[in-house]
């Protein structure tokens, strides 16, 4: 890349020297060159992704299971990053030092947005032959230069970190929310919330404290550059997990759905928690930076920040989801699926943007928007839009995810702000393992006190083992790399992500076997066993038909759809939280936001009947319960215990829970909501 | 938006004044503010698009036909642009003048990429109380300031023009190529190429010359700022047509497919032609700017540029398309549709990027890549990928198109570089109408000399009337707005686009009636009559099934799929070009790139049999001819005349052509390739 670049620079220089026809042409040529470099950067990543796709295909074809596509993307990225770094020479960015014009007055203490340079003005331009006319150029603010000696702005094949938060993460997170298998999610809500909320905070605190201790033992130069808040920030950013690889293997081997739901649900939520947590730590830092000590009011303020931002973001996302549901319910936009899909995408993106405009967390908003869209709007959509939206987000998720892992690999070599500190890296690895242990074992113990059935020990080990770090940790680490401390954090985080994704991901199958976690039968139902459920021969056209009237986004495979539901005994106990939520949901929200039965006219108290009548569609009155039950099976939170359980159930009952609705509904006709 | 912004600025100012804790916090706050403004800009457009979608639904629901969605998007854009312009106050960008440091030496005649400002250094900062530490800030090059008095960088709700070329146009153009109804396209290839190539160049020349004449008659201040190349550039950018509205009405009213194919094919190709043409004019300008007169070598160079860039871009796109076809044919990646779709998208985008990196025209590459993908790769894809890719690009196209028209409306008020010159605007309107007339009538006359059947007069009028201007003209006009001449061009182009889209688009139905162009029966086949073919009730699940094994991307509605094929007499004559191409295509390319029969082993000469055997898949040997004919109906260029024509054909034979394969195939079993 840079060979080409240098060659082009020389050409450009020659062109300028030979023609001497003013700076206009040179400027145009320079703009063209920059555009080509941008295109080349994108092309590198496009080719890397293409290569990854082809290799994944080969691996799937030959049934290689020790390397997941994310691991592959990282490794390809590392190779190409090394080539770019060592094979190509450095592109020199030209710069000069400037001073304000003598008579300038400026009335703000922040640097101005824009500089105006008269060029060449009184400067000595060495190429004497061509008289360059005086022109005025605009320069816009870029950032602070900390290390003046170093030419820091030399970025090769790198992107603005904000791109991750505004373009790459939203579709990944939305997809996770949209594909959440809500039934098992809500059934394990207590455990998931405990692990995600309490666990992540605990893990951040433990990692932060331990790292602070470690840093104090290190050479003084490093120790002085880290404050406790810095290490706490590191704890927050390294805590979220991203067990893509493990989950892909789970769905391949049909591991227990409840274990799957816990790992997936936790990883989805702890991304959101970690993002808000790191924001709260930064706010604390911003507000109280003049005083190094601990301030109780500031601490409470940070906690208030955390709760406020998290719940407001959740609210924005949920409201936008419900608004979309109302729009799709009360208009007939479903007659034009393209319009409907566009509306769906626009409203979901608006949730992200509204949260960002209000200084909330867009990623959290988009997660809960995705959950609401799946839970309510999805039921109102036409079958064409259902297919289209789930396929669209599946594809976007696939591309975004692999892009971010490729980028982690490439940036390891090309991103200029890495700071390799062996002690910090070792301490980071050790503490991140300890943090995960603190997240899982004590909390599982506490949960098991009140939980029936308890989480068995081998499941706890598997939860611990699934603590891979991924996209969110990297995005948070690369966001701010001004100080040396932050640069050391970025390096450590990148290495932890690469190591966990490649090594831990590769060892997941062995871990399952070693922990004796039962895996489902893999003989029949071949299609479901593969990570991509879309696998089907062209002759199997009936599949498309079957898919069309099922409610759950069916091809969200990594998410939670693939592990087979096992018939389980009905001895499990329904969580109180889930029961309460289920009542509100089925009596109020579902009838209001979707065409689900029973209609509001039946569930609302008598004095609200007129309102209820307005909010109920004729479709809701006329459809039978039966058809609805069928199309709405996964949205159920729990089923009622008093229903008879069909006896033809697979006896493998590792995890005593509730029977799957989709099995029981075959024998039951009647509303059991 | 700017009220909010000003409020925030004041808050920021106060925060800085009160705390006085250095510039770090102020800078962070400023970065946050900028991020929020970016989000707000995006939110404005997201809301506008949502509003457009909802209004389109209302219009479709109430069967309003006098305003197309693009017209609607423009009008909403205008309203919101006016509100932003007049209701909100201006955001002040702070700037200072700078001089190079005294000892600076700089050895290039172009301005440096980067400035380093020591702030506050020796500057007088008025807020005396807080001592601001000296820091160094980086400023990156933005552009030239032409009018120093004016604060030009005050951009409200505007985007970098390059975004149009790199993000918005590629999916639109790819979709057009992917959805081109190739049978009718190739059948009318001669007329389409004449109109698109010769016609666009002729139109650009006529408009350029007339405008130059008009400009000379205008007040001297304006006349001096336009060169002939400037007006020629204007001619090139205003020549491409974008008859979305007209085509939407065509498909609604089932207008003759050949007329439809000519208008659509011409508009797709003339976008590409105009883009390359304007590039060639700029190159001419760049290379020979020191001499104002006409140079024959320079002129020939420009023509060489045009032909070279166009054909090389075409080649890049076609090669990438064929490469994708080979990849999907010889790997079994179709077993994993998600991987397959990702590969498809990545390869298509790579075609664009490769062309851009090689200084060719990415848009042209992506157009021909789309055509090749539809013609070859599409046949190899799994049904899931077929659906997914066509739905994906349909959605992207819809969003991109409406975004660009919304932006045309908003930027009319908010883009700072408009220059309203009434004479230039009037001249622009008149000459663009004349240019369209020169494009259609003389060329139709010449075509009719050799063409059998001739293009009837009312069709010529309709072709003339379909000369709406759209996205490509606007994108070209907004790309460069440095000089006053270019700014006047942008304003004129915006106004022409708005006027043609809203007025001409609205009058299209009346024009059809006035010109007595026969429209098809609209009674039955309701689904096909609507612009969005996806319209179907959820009960109509069979449709999805039907769609799945048809080869042509079915829901590309605007494109060309909706007008019903009319059974026409077989008296038409096949164009020689199409015949030659058809032979190469069916004997060599199709068997090589797809699973189509007859295999290469039958079509290649004997001495190449070993090679042919390697390139033929078992699938190709084993499948029957019959099944293939069905799945490959539209890809046919022409059908053979010797086949019997079923007699059950609609007698409305306005345009004597060839019978549609899909009708004839019902009665014919046998390979007629």
3-state secondary structure of A97: strand
Kindly give the pairing relationship between strand A105-106 and strand A124-125: unpaired
**Burial class for A149, CB neighbours closer than 10 Å (0-12, 13-18, 19+):** exposed
Which has the higher per-residue pLDDT, B374 or B122?
B374
The two tokens of residue A606 are 């008598």
Mean pLDDT of B217-228: 76
B589 contacts chain A (CB < 8 A): no
How far is B350 from chain A, CA to nearest CA, in Å?
A: 6
Contact call for A544 and B57, based on CB within 8 A: no
- Cα distances (Å, whole numbers) of residue A64 to A402, A444, A491, A607, B424: 18, 33, 30, 63, 67
Element (H, E) at B602: helix B600-603
Which has the higher per-residue pLDDT, B135 or A589?
A589
Most confidently modeled of A260-274, B139-153, B546-560?
A260-274
Q: What is the pLDDT of residue A297?
A: 76
Contacts of A365 in chain B (CB under 8 A): none
Q: What is the pLDDT of residue A121?
A: 59
Q: What is the pLDDT of residues A391-433, one digit of tens each?
A: 999 999 999 989 999 999 998 888 877 888 888 899 999 999 9
Residue B298's closest CA among B279, B312, B285, B311? B285
A118 contacts chain B (CB < 8 A): yes
Q: How confident is the model at residue A519 (pLDDT cuts 50, 70, 90)?
A: confident
Q: What is the pLDDT of residue B435?
A: 93
Element (H, E) at A115: strand A114-119
DSSP letter string, A13-43: HHHHHHH---HHHHHHHHHHHHHHHHHHHHH
Which has the higher per-residue pLDDT, B150 or B95?
B95
How far is B15 from chain A, CA to nearest CA, in Å?
A: 11
Question: In the CATH hierarchy, which top-level class contains the domain A173-514?
Answer: mainly alpha
What whole-number distance in Å separates Cα of residue A189 and Cα of residue A187? 6
Q: In b/e form, how buried is each residue of B527-549, taking b as 16+ CB within 10 angstroms?
A: ebbbbbbbbbeeeebebbeebbe
Architecture of domain B170-514: Up-down Bundle (1.20)
Interface contacts A/B by beta carbons within 8 Å: 434
CA dihedral B161, B236, A34, B110 (to 10 degrees): -100
The two tokens of residue A520 are 């489902």
DSSP letter string, B424-484: HHHHHHHHHHHHHHHHHHHHHHHHHHH-SS---HHHHHHHHHT----HHHHHHHHH---SH
Mean pLDDT of A447-451: 84
Q: Any idea which of A576-585, B224-233, B512-521, B530-539 has the lowest mean pLDDT?
A: B530-539
Kindly give the pairing relationship between strand A114-119 and strand B95-100: parallel
Q: Which of A105, A289, A339 sits opposite B56 (nearest CB)?
A: A339
- Residue from B100, B332, B559 whose CB has the most chain A CBs within 10 Å, to mutate: B100
Contacts of A138 in chain B (CB under 8 A): 95, 142-145, 152-153
Interface of B with A in 388-417 (CB under 8 A): 388, 391-392, 394-395, 398-399
Q: Which of B21, B152, B290 sits opposite A21 (nearest CB)?
A: B290
Backbone angles phi, psi at B326, to 5 degrees: -65, -45
The two tokens of residue A460 are 């706890």
Mean pLDDT of A457-476: 90
Residue A371's closest CA among A603, A634, A164? A634
| Residue A591 pLDDT > 70 | yes
Q: What is the pLDDT of residue A666?
A: 34
Q: How confident is the model at residue B654 (pLDDT cuts 50, 70, 90)?
A: very low
What whole-number distance in Å separates Cα of residue B70 and Cα of residue B56? 10
Contacts of B139 in chain A (CB under 8 A): 114-115, 139-142
Contact call for A118 and B97, based on CB within 8 A: yes
What whole-number distance in Å separates Cα of residue B409 and Cα of residue B404? 9
Q: Any idea which of A64-68, A329-333, B121-125 has the lowest mean pLDDT?
A: B121-125
What whole-number distance in Å separates Cα of residue A188 and Cα of residue A293? 40
What whole-number distance in Å separates Cα of residue A76 and Cα of residue A41? 15
B62 contacts chain A (CB < 8 A): no
Q: Quick check: A390 and A399 in contact, CB under 8 A? A: no
Q: Which residues contact B518 (CB under 8 A, 6 or more apart)?
A: B255, B256, B652, B654
Q: What is the pLDDT of residues B536-576, one digit of tens each?
A: 333 333 333 333 334 444 444 433 333 333 333 333 445 66
DSSP letter string, A594-631: SSPSSPHHHHS-GGGHHHHHHT--HHHHHS-HHHHHHH
Q: What pairs with residue A125 in β-bridges? A: B106
The two tokens of residue A513 are 């076997």
Q: What is the pLDDT of residue A238?
A: 93
DSSP letter string, B622-665: HS-HHHHHHHTTTT-S---TTSPPPS---S--SS--PPPHHHHT
CA dihedral A424, A427, A433, A439 (to 10 degrees): -90
Q: Quick check: A89 and A6 in contact, CB under 8 A? A: yes
In chain A, what are the domain boundaries? 2-87, 173-514, 568-673
A632 contacts chain B (CB < 8 A): no
Interface of B with A in 497-536 (CB under 8 A): 530, 532, 534-536
Q: What is the pLDDT of residue A159?
A: 77
Mean pLDDT of B465-479: 89
Q: What is the pLDDT of residues A337-383, one digit of tens each?
A: 899 999 999 999 999 999 999 988 898 999 999 999 998 999 888 88
Interface of A with B in 424-443 (CB under 8 A): none
Q: How far is Cα of residue A456 from the mean position of the Cα atoms in its chain? A: 29
Q: Sign of dihedral through CA atoms B317, B318, B323, B328? A: positive
How far is A212 from chain B, CA to nearest CA, in Å?
A: 24
CB atoms within 10 A of CB B253: 20
Contact call for A60 and B336, based on CB within 8 A: yes
Q: In b/e form, how buried is each residue of A312-337, taking b as 16+ CB within 10 angstroms?
A: bbbebbbbbbbbbbbbbbebebbbbb
Which has the higher per-residue pLDDT, A296 or A378?
A378
What whole-number distance in Å separates Cα of residue A97 and Cα of residue A88? 28
B18 contacts chain A (CB < 8 A): no
Q: How far is Cα of residue A544 from the mean position of the Cα atoms in its chain? A: 29
How far is B176 from chain A, CA to nearest CA, in Å?
A: 16
3-state secondary structure of A536: coil
| Residue A521 pLDDT > 60 | no
Q: What is the pLDDT of residue B584?
A: 82
| Residue A631 pLDDT > 60 | no
Instruction: Map tokens 């550039």 to a residue.
Output: B233
Instruction: Map tokens 């994944």 to a residue.
Output: A56
Q: What is the pLDDT of residues B599-620, one digit of tens each?
A: 777 777 777 777 777 777 777 7
What whole-number distance in Å separates Cα of residue B274 and Cα of residue B200? 7
CB atoms within 10 A of CB B155: 16
Which has the higher per-residue pLDDT, B613 or A315?
A315
Residue B530's closest CA among B565, B500, B555? B555
Contacts of A252 in chain B (CB under 8 A): none
Q: Any idea which of B47-51, B69-73, B668-672 has the lowest mean pLDDT?
A: B668-672
Most confidently modeled of A47-51, A641-645, B250-254?
A47-51
Q: Quick check: A534 and A547 in contact, CB under 8 A? A: no
- Tell how many helices (H) and how many strands (E) occur in chain B: 32, 5
| Residue A252 pLDDT > 80 | no
The model carries a pTM of 0.80
Contacts of A363 in chain B (CB under 8 A): none
Q: Which of B119, B345, B388 sits opposite A111 (nearest CB)?
A: B119
HEC letters along A265-333: HHHHHHHHHHHHHHHHHHHHHHHCCCCCCCCHHHHHHHHHHHHHHHHHHHHHHHHHHHHHHHHHHHCCH
Contacts of A108 in chain B (CB under 8 A): 13, 16, 94, 125, 127
Interface of B with A in 90-109 (CB under 8 A): 93-101, 104-109
Q: Any idea which of A279-293, B423-437, B526-540 has the lowest mean pLDDT?
A: B526-540
Q: Any idea which of A140-149, B206-215, B416-425 has the lowest mean pLDDT?
A: A140-149
Q: What is the pLDDT of residue B661?
A: 33
Mean pLDDT of chain A: 74
Q: What is the pLDDT of residue A133?
A: 61
Q: Which of A106, A108, A123 sits opposite B100 (nearest CB)?
A: A123
């Amino acid at each position: 890349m840079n060979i080409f670049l240098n060659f082009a620079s020389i050409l450009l220089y020659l062109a300028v020297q030979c023609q001497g026809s003013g700076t206009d042409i040179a400027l145009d040529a320079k703009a063209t060159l920059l555009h080509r470099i941008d295109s080349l950067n994108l092309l590198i990543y496009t080719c890397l992704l293409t290569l990854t796709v082809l290799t994944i295909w080969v691996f799937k074809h030959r049934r290689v299971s020790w390397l997941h596509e994310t691991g592959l993307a990282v490794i390809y990225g590392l190779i190409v990053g090394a080539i770019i770094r060592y094979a190509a020479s450095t592109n020199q960015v030209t710069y000069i030092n400037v001073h304000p014009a003598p008579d300038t007055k400026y009335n703000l203490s922040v640097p101005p947005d824009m500089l105006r340079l008269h060029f060449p003005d009184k400067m000595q331009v060495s190429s004497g032959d061509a008289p360059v006319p005086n022109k005025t150029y605009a320069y816009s603010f870029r950032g602070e230069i900390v290390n003046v000696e170093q030419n820091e702005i030399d970025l090769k094949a790198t992107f603005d970190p904000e791109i991750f938060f505004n373009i790459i993460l939203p579709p990944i997170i939305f997809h996770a929310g949209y594909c959440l298998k809500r039934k098992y999610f809500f059934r394990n809500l207590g455990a998931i919330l405990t692990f995600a909320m309490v666990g992540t905070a605990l893990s951040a605190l433990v990692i932060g404290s331990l790292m602070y201790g470690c840093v104090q033992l290190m050479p003084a130069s490093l120790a002085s550059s880290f404050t406790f808040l810095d290490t706490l920030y590191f704890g927050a950013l390294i805590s979220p997990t991203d067990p893509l690889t493990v989950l892909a293997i789970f769905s391949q081997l049909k591991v227990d759905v409840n274990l799957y739901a816990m790992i997936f649900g936790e990883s989805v939520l702890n991304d959101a928690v970690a993002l808000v947590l790191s924001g709260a730590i930064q706010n604390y830092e911003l507000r109280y930076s003049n005083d190094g000590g601990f301030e109780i009011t500031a601490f409470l303020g940070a906690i208030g920040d955390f709760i406020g931002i998290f719940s407001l973001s959740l609210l924005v996302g949920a409201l936008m989801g419900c608004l979309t549901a109302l729009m799709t319910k009360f208009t007939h936009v479903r007659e034009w699926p393209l319009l409907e899909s566009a509306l769906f995408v626009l409203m979901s993106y608006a949730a992200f943007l509204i949260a960002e405009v209000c200084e909330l967390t867009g990623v959290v908003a988009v997660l809960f928007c995705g959950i609401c869209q799946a839970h309510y709007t999805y039921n109102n959509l036409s079958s064409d839009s259902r297919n289209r939206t789930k396929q669209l987000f599946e594809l976007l998720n696939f591309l975004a995810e692999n892009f971010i892992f490729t980028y982690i690999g490439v940036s390891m070599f090309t991103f200029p702000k890495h700071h390799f500190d062996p002690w910090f890296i070792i301490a980071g690895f050790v503490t991140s393992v300890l943090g995960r242990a603190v997240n899982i074992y004590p909390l599982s113990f506490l949960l098991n006190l009140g939980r029936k059935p308890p989480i068995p020990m081998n499941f706890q080990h598997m939860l611990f083992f699934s603590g891979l770090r991924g996209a969110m940790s990297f995005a948070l680490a690369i966001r701010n790399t001004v100080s040396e401390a932050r640069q050391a954090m970025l390096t450590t985080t990148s290495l932890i992500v690469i190591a966990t994704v490649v090594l831990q991901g590769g060892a997941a199958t062995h871990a399952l076997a070693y922990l004796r976690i039962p895996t489902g039968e893999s003989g029949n139902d071949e299609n479901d066993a593969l990570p991509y459920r879309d696998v089907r021969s062209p002759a199997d056209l009936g599949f498309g038909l079957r898919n069309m009237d099922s409610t759950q986004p069916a091809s969200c495979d990594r998410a939670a759809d693939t592990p087979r539901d096992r018939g389980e005994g009905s001895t499990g106990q329904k969580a109180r939280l889930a029961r309460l939520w289920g009542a509100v949901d089925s009596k109020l929200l579902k009838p209001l936001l979707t065409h689900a039965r029973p209609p509001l006219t039946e569930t609302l108290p008598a004095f609200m009947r007129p309102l209820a009548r307005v909010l109920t569609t004729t479709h809701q009155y006329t459809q039978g319960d039966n058809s609805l039950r069928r199309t709405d099976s996964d949205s159920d939170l729990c089923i009622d215990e008093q229903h008879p359980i069909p006896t033809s159930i697979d006896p493998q009952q590792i995890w005593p829970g509730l029977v799957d609705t989709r099995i029981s509904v075959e024998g039951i006709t009647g509303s059991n909501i």
